[in-house]
C-alpha cells in the first residue's frame, strides 16, 4: 500500500502534506491537481506533516488535494540510448515533448523502449559476479555500452543464464543471476539509481595520474586539468565562463561529455543544440553531439528541478564511468544550484547561514565534487569522471559562500578576471590567481615528463615566474612612469606580454586558434620561452615596445595559421628575422 496524503499548506512551490503512513526523506510523491500529476520530493517531515518541494508551478493547487507517495527516491533511468539526448533536470526527454510550451506534469520516457540493440555477451554461465560487473555489451553510437549487474545488487551472484548474441529491446531479460540464497533475479538493459547517492561499485579510487587535454593553452600548458579531477571557473558576468566551458566541451579528449545547463540561459542551451550536431569530433570523426548528453534546467524552469539536475548529470556520468570510459561533466552554473538550495531553505524557514544560504552548503558542495574521480573498476580497467563547474559570484566578489566552499574542494581554479575581460584578453583566466594543484602531484609531473618532455613542469613554472616578474615591472612602470624606470623593466614587462598574447590568449571564435593540440602548445611555448630567455638591449623604452609589438603581431598570425603550413613556417621565419634585426641593431 502506498502512503497517501492531503495538501494542507502551500507557499510557492513548498507544499505541506498531511500523511496517513510512513514516508522517507527525499521520497518522491505526486501531487494531484485535476488531471495533472506533479512530481515532488519530500524535504522535511514533522510529525504527520511532510514538506514536499514540487517540481512544477503550484498555481491553482487547493488545500485538500490528493498526494501519493512512491516509496523511492528520485531515480535516474540508466541504459543504452542516453547519449545525444536532451533531458530536463528530472530526465524527461525534451525532444519528445510535443507542445511548444512545457505543460505542467509533462513526462516523457528517458529511453526508447522500442528500439533494439545488438547485444554481445561478455559473461559466461557460472561466472561469479557482483554489482557493476560487465555481463555484456551493445554498441551505442561508437561506444561499447556495457550491460552491467545492477548497482543496487548486494553481495555475490552466479550467472545462471545469459542471452545469446543478437538484437534485443532494453526491457528484455539479458541474464538471470542467482544470489547466495538461491533466489533468481532477472537483469535487463535498464537499471535505476537514486541520483543523490554516489555510485561506489568500483575497486578503488586512486589519485589522478593523467592529464585531460582540452586544447585550451591556458589550461593545458599553464594549469592542466587531470583526468578524474575537479575544477571550477568563477567569474563575474561577461568574463567568458560559458564560452570557455563550451570550448572545453568541444575539444576535451573525453569519451562522453555531459553538459548540465543549470539555471542558465535557454539561448546558450540552444547554441549547443544547434552547433554540436554540426561539429565534428576530431578524434573519432563523428559528430560532437553523439558523445554528448545535455541536462537542461534553464533559469525559468522550476527551481526544485534545478537542484535535481546536477545530481541527474552526475549519476549518468558515474554510470558511464563504470563502463571504463572517460567522462567529462560540465555544469553551468553551480551557483544557480546553490541558489535553488537557498530558496528552498528560505521557504522552510530554516535559520540561514552566510548570505542566507543554508548552513550545510559547503558540505553539500564538497560531497558533490567528491563523486568525481578516476577509478579502478572491479576488472582492473580505469574509468573517470572529470567535473568542471562554473561559479557566478554575486557582484564578482570571490569572497562569497559558493566560491569559498567550492575553492575548498576543487583542485583546479580558473579565475576569470574582469580586467582581462574588459581589455578583451580572452580567455580571461588570470595567470597568477589561477592554479592547478595537479602540477604538485608527483604522478602528474611524471606523466607530463613522458607525455610532453622531461622537466616540463619546471618549464611551466618558469613561464609563470616570467609573468609574475612582468606584472611587478608593470606596477613599477605605472608608479614611476615610462622614463622613470630602467629600460630592462620594459623588457621584462613586454616578455610577460608576449606570453600573455601568444600563450594565454586564444581566439575561441577562430577555426584554427580555437583548438590547440598539445604538440602545438609545446612548440609555441618553447618558441616563446626561447625569446624570453634571450637578452635584448633597447635604445629606449619606445624601441623596446615597438620590437615586442612586432613580435607579438607575427606570433599572433602564427596562431591563426594551420600548424606546419607554409604560412606558419613563413611567420616562423619572420620571427627569426625580427630577432636578428634587433640583435644586429644592438651591435651597431
Partner 1 sequence: METKAFQKIYTKIENITKATVSLRASGVGNDELATVGGKLAQVVKLNGDLVTLQVFAGTDGIATDSEVIFHGEPPKLRVSDALAGRFFNAYGEPLEGGELTEGEEREIGGPTVNPFKRLQPSELIATGIAGIDLNNTIVSGQKIPFFADPDQPYNQVMAMVALRAKADKIILGGMGLTNDDFLFFKNVFENAGALDRIVSFVNTTENPPVERLLVPDMALTAAEYFAVDKGEKVLVLLTDMTLYADALAIVSNRMDQIPSKDSMPGSLYSDLAKIYEKAVQLPNGGSITIIAVTTLSGGDITHAVPDNTGYITEGQLFLRNDSDTGKTIIDPFRSLSRLKQLVIGKKTREDHPQVMNAAVRLYADAANAKTKLENGFDLSDYDERTLSFAKEYSEHLLAIDINIDITEMLDRAWELFAKYFTKTEVAIKEELMEKYWPKEA
572: contact with partner 1 by CB under 8 A: no
Closer of 161 and 299 to partner 1 (Cβ): 299
364: contact with partner 1 by CB under 8 A: no
* 428, 500 Cβ separation under 8 angstroms: no
Site for partner 1 in 88-117 (CB under 8 A): 94-95, 97, 99-104
Chosen residue from 24, 194, 396, 517 binding partner 1 by CB under 8 A: 396
With residue 421 as reference, give the H or E element that holds it.
helix 418-422
Site for partner 1 in 167-206 (CB under 8 A): none
Chosen residue from 46, 180, 183, 267 binding partner 1 by CB under 8 A: 267
Chosen residue from 4, 66, 299, 515 binding partner 1 by CB under 8 A: 299
Closer of 1 and 509 to partner 1 (Cβ): 509
Per-residue contact flags (x/-) with partner 1 for residues 26 to 65, judged by CB under 8 A: -------------------------------xxxxxxx--
With residue 450 as reference, give the H or E element that holds it.
helix 442-451
Site for partner 1 in 418-437 (CB under 8 A): 422-424
| From 125-133, 344-352, 361-369, 457-465, span contacting partner 1 (CB under 8 A) | 344-352
DSSP character at residue 251: H
549: contact with partner 1 by CB under 8 A: yes
- How far CA 572 is from CA of 251, 531, 556, 577, in Å, comes to 26, 12, 11, 9
239: CB partners within 8 A, 6+ apart: 396, 416, 417, 418, 420, 421, 428
556: contact with partner 1 by CB under 8 A: yes
Q: What one-character-per-residue DSSP string does 176-243 give?
A: EEEETTS-EEEE-S-EEEETTS----SSB-PPP-SEE--S-HIIIIISPEETT-EEEEE--TTS-HHH
Chosen residue from 298, 309, 334, 374 binding partner 1 by CB under 8 A: 298
| From 115-123, 370-378, 519-527, 537-545, span contacting partner 1 (CB under 8 A) | 537-545
152: contact with partner 1 by CB under 8 A: no
Site for partner 1 in 453-512 (CB under 8 A): 478, 481-484, 509
395: contact with partner 1 by CB under 8 A: yes
- How far CA 226 is from CA of 94, 358, 449, in Å, comes to 32, 31, 15
- How far CA 194 is from CA of 148, 191, 285, in Å, comes to 17, 10, 35
* 391, 334 Cβ separation under 8 angstroms: yes
Nearest to 88 by CA among 105, 66, 63, 70: 105
573: contact with partner 1 by CB under 8 A: no
The strand pair at 175-179 and 143-148 is best described as unpaired
11: contact with partner 1 by CB under 8 A: yes
Closest contact distance (angstroms) between CB of 269 and partner 1 is 5
**Phi and psi of 286, rounded to 5°?**
-90, 175
Closer of 7 and 448 to partner 1 (Cβ): 7
| From 187-195, 236-244, 283-291, 435-443, span contacting partner 1 (CB under 8 A) | 236-244
Amino acid at each position: 500500500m502506498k502512503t497517501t496524503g492531503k495538501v494542507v499548506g502551500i507557499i510557492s512551490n513548498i507544499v505541506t502534506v498531511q500523511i496517513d503512513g510512513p514516508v522517507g526523506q527525499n521520497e518522491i510523491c505526486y501531487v494531484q491537481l485535476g488531471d495533472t500529476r506533479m512530481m515532488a520530493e519530500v524535504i522535511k517531515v514533522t510529525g504527520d506533516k511532510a514538506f514536499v518541494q514540487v517540481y512544477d508551478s503550484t498555481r491553482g493547487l487547493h488545500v485538500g488535494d490528493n498526494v501519493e507517495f512512491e516509496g523511492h527516491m528520485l531515480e535516474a533511468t540508466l541504459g543504452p540510448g542516453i547519449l545525444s539526448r536532451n533531458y530536463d533536470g528530472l530526465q524527461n526527454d525534451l525532444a519528445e515533448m510535443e507542445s511548444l510550451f512545457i505543460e505542467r506534469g509533462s513526462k516523457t520516457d528517458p529511453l526508447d523502449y522500442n528500439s533494439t540493440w545488438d547485444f554481445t555477451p561478455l559473461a559466461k554461465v557460472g561466472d561469479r559476479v557482483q554489482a557493476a560487473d560487465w555481463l555484456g555489451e551493445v554498441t551505442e553510437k561508437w561506444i561499447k555500452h556495457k550491460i552491467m549487474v545492477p548497482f543496487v545488487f548486494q553481495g555475490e551472484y552466479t550467472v545462471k543464464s545469459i542471452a545469446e548474441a543478437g538484437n534485443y529491446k532494453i526491457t528484455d531479460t539479458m541474464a538471470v543471476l542467482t544470489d547466495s540464497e538461491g533466489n533468481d533475479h532477472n537483469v535487463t538493459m535498464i537499471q535505476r539509481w537514486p541520483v543523490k547517492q554516489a555510485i561506489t561499485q568500483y575497486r578503488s579510487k586512486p589519485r589522478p595520474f593523467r592529464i585531460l587535454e582540452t586544447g585550451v593553452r591556458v589550461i593545458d600548458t599553464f594549469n592542466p586539468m587531470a583526468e578524474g579531477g575537479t575544477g571550477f571557473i568563477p567569474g563575474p558576468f561577461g568574463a567568458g565562463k560559458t564560452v570557455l566551458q563550451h570550448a572545453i566541451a568541444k575539444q576535451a579528449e573525453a569519451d562522453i561529455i555531459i553538459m548540465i545547463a543549470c539555471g542558465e540561459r535557454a539561448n546558450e542551451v540552444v547554441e549547443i543544440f544547434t552547433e554540436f550536431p554540426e561539429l565534428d569530433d576530431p578524434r573519432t570523426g563523428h559528430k560532437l553531439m553523439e558523445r554528448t548528453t545535455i541536462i537542461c534546467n534553464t533559469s525559468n524552469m522550476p527551481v526544485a528541478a534545478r537542484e535535481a539536475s546536477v545530481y541527474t548529470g552526475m549519476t549518468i556520468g558515474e554510470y558511464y564511468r563504470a563502463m571504463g570510459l572517460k567522462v567529462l561533466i560540465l555544469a553551468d552554473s553551480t551557483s544557480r544550484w546553490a541558489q535553488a538550495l537557498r530558496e528552498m531553505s528560505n521557504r522552510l524557514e530554516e535559520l540561514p547561514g552566510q548570505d542566507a544560504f543554508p548552513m550545510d552548503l559547503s558540505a553539500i558542495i564538497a560531497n558533490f565534487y567528491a563523486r568525481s574521480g578516476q577509478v579502478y573498476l572491479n576488472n582492473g580497467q580505469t574509468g573517470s569522471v572529470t567535473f568542471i563547474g562554473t561559479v557566478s559570484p554575486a557582484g564578482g566578489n570571490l569572497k562569497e559562500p559558493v566560491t569559498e566552499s567550492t575553492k575548498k574542494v576543487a583542485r583546479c581554479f580558473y579565475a576569470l578576471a574582469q580586467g582581462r575581460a574588459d581589455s578583451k584578453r580572452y580567455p580571461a583566466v588570470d595567470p597568477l590567481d589561477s592554479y592547478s594543484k595537479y602540477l604538485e602531484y608527483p604522478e602528474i609531473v611524471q606523466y607530463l615528463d613522458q607525455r610532453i618532455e622531461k622537466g616540463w613542469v619546471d618549464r611551466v613554472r618558469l613561464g609563470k615566474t616570467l609573468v609574475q616578474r612582468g606584472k611587478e615591472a608593470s606596477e613599477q612602470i605605472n608608479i614611476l612612469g615610462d622614463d622613470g624606470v630602467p629600460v630592462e623593466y620594459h623588457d621584462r614587462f613586454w616578455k610577460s606580454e608576449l606570453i600573455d598574447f601568444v600563450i594565454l590568449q586564444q581566439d575561441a571564435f577562430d577555426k584554427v586558434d580555437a583548438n590547440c593540440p598539445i604538440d602545438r602548445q609545446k612548440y609555441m611555448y618553447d618558441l616563446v620561452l626561447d625569446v624570453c630567455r634571450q637578452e635584448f638591449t633597447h635604445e629606449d623604452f619606445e624601441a623596446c615596445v615597438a620590437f615586442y609589438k612586432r613580435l607579438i603581431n607575427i606570433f599572433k598570425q602564427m596562431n591563426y595559421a594551420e600548424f606546419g603550413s607554409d604560412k606558419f613556417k613563413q611567420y616562423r621565419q619572420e620571427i627569426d628575422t625580427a630577432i636578428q634585426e634587433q640583435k644586429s641593431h644592438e651591435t651597431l
